């Protein structure tokens, strides 16, 4: 019914997807381990009061920095903010609906396991 090349491509796709899943799992494990070690390093640097020092390792310099992470802009957050300045709940819901309707939608073909 289908060509041999089509079946070959399906098998290759499936094989590559399995490999990708294995690599993603390995990467997630590496990230977890890295975060554990990073926390130990940060705690040591703070305890020893060396958090403002540059540390040379290999050809790189490492330094402890304060990083700011901004809260994602969600519809719940928008609604909470709007409730602070608009008392009419219907207007707020209307604005949120309007904003949602203005989002662009990207459509494409993909292959998914079902």
The pair of three-digit structure tokens given for residue 27, joined into one six-digit string:
């990467």
Listed by start position, the domains of the chain span: 1-65, 70-104
Contact status, residue 37 vs residue 44, Cβ threshold 8 Å? no
- pTM comes to 0.74
Look at residue 114 and tell me whether its pLDDT is greater than 90: no
Tokens encoding 64: 């402890």
CA dist., res. 81 & res. 73, Å (int):
11
- Band (1; pLDDT cuts 50, 70, 90): confident
């Amino acid at each position: 019914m289908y060509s041999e090349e089509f079946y070959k491509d399906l098998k290759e796709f499936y094989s590559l997807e399995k490999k990708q899943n294995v690599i993603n799992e390995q990467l997630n494990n590496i990230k977890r381990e890295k975060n554990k070690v990073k926390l130990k390093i940060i705690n040591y640097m703070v305890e020893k009061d060396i958090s403002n020092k540059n540390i040379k390792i290999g050809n790189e310099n490492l330094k402890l920095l304060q990083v700011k992470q901004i809260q994602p802009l969600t519809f719940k957050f928008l609604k909470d903010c709007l409730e602070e300045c608009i008392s009419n709940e219907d207007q707020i819901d209307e604005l949120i609906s309007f904003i949602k309707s203005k989002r662009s939608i990207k459509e494409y073909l993909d292959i998914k396991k079902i």
